[in-house]
Amino acid sequence: MYPFLFEIGSFRLPTFGLMVALGFLAALWVLQRELPRRGFDEELGSTIITAGMIGGLVGAKLYFVLFEMPGADWGETFAALFSGSGLTWYGGFVVAAVAIFWIMKKRRVPFLPIADASSMALALGYGIGRIGCQLAGDGDYGVPTDLPWGMAYPDGVVPTLERVHPAPVYETLLGLAIFGLLWSLRVRWEKTPGKLFCLYLVFAGGARFGVEIIRLNPEVAWGLSAAQLISLAMIAGGGALAWRLKGGEAV
């Protein structure tokens, strides 16, 4: 594991933060290629990424302190808000999506074509960002396993000597696979704005639901974790939107 890329005196560069930054840059690259092709200003990509970064960080932290720190006192909550941990993806996704939707409405830009482009950017950025989780060994690995690719994280931020499912590796591979699928369909499906976004919601939700089966997150309802419940909401939302698009309803 490589929690820190290098150290100079008291300064340490976390590999997780570096990979998250590279994920955002990769997402920006996708948007700056795709938005002009769809007839939008290239600079809109920077606006979307900025809104996604700010909304994502705020949402991730809020989700963490509200749902993963029940009963914590004000001191623990304050410390968690300003620490480097607790960057929960789902909380970030929801708030970032709301922030981007608000910007699109304010600028009077059609949401669905932007959502199609953003879904590709998000899948790629997410896959790259999860490499940081793997390098840092930050505790989001899975349950113990005797499969040949099981890994221990003795030097991770949250160390374990047991061989466990390398869940971040699974999520990286799934994120890159979803990106590849969406990218291959982007021209063919361009005439139906929102179709790629629907596919992203269904596939990303399904991928995360599956990974959660071997993760260590606690159950919150019906034997499912909070992430699995949100995954089901994503799948249902993608399916409902696809049904509306098939019926020719404006969104």
pLDDT tens digit string along 144-191?
Answer: 999 999 999 888 878 888 999 999 999 999 999 999 999 999 999 888
Q: Which residue type sits at 42?
A: E
Instruction: Look up the pTM and report it.
Output: 0.82
Query: Kindly report the CA angle at 129 between 42 and 229, in degrees rounded to 5?
Result: 100
Tokens 């005439």: give the residue. Answer: 191
pLDDT average, residue stretch 10-36: 85
pLDDT average, residue stretch 100-129: 87
Task: Output the CA torsion 119→124→128→134 (10° steps).
Answer: 70
Q: Of the given ranges (46-55, 80-89, 164-173, 186-195), which has the lowest mean pLDDT?
A: 80-89
Can you tell me the distance from the alpha carbon of 94 to that of 65, in angstroms, rounded to the nearest whole number?
15
